[in-house]
Homo-oligomer: A and B are copies of this chain.
Amino acid sequence: MAKIDLDRRAEIGREKRARTRAQILEAGTMLLAERPPEALTVDAIVEAAGVAKGTFYYHFQGIEELAAAVGERLGESFDDLLTAARLELPDPIARLSFAFTQFLDRAISDPVWARLVVQSSHAPTEFARSIRAHLKADLTEAIDQGRLTVRDVEMAADIVLGIWLQVVRSSLERRPAPDLAGQALRAVLRALGA
């Protein structure tokens, strides 16, 4: 009689647990969008999430673990936007252009997401590494096809990421100009010599 009871109990637990965990994750996301993790306190998180301090430690080991979880979700959001491009576009430059525009549109329409990405770009996180790796794969392919003036992959990646990040930062401070994404993309392609 014990077996079924225990499994069911655990399942109920997981559901309730998941809801509260999501609240904390959401609060953490908002706060990490406006300050670096070093400046984030557990008290601030639990206040924003509307839970008790003990609850935070029931779900996370500490702020680092929360930051890692937020980073993972951020990485998934990038993957979501990338999947379409990777499957449908065989041309590396078209793929890169599509992804660049997708990410930029998202940043413009979702400032919290944009702030979070900008903050995350400061400390080199796992997801930042992954993005740069994806980008370098496309750029290497394009360079091997002799379609770029730039020959150094690292320099090419810096150009794309640098312009993207700075345009995103600008879009958070000023009202984004119309066709911002298009203008930025054309500048990137010119810089790469595509």
Contacts and interface: CB of A to CB of B under 8 A. Distances in A.
Contact of A162 (B155, B167, B193): B167
A49 to B, nearest CB: 21
**Mostly helix, strand, loop or mixed at chain A's interface?**
helix
13 contacts: A38-B38, A150-B183, A150-B187, A154-B177, A155-B167, A155-B183, A155-B184, A158-B169, A158-B170, A159-B191, A162-B167, A163-B163, A165-B166
Contact of A166 (B162, B173, B174): B162
Interface residues of A, number: 34
A166 B92 CA distance: 22
Interface in A162-193: 162-167, 169-170, 173-174, 177, 180, 183-184, 187-188, 190-193
A158 B163 contact: yes
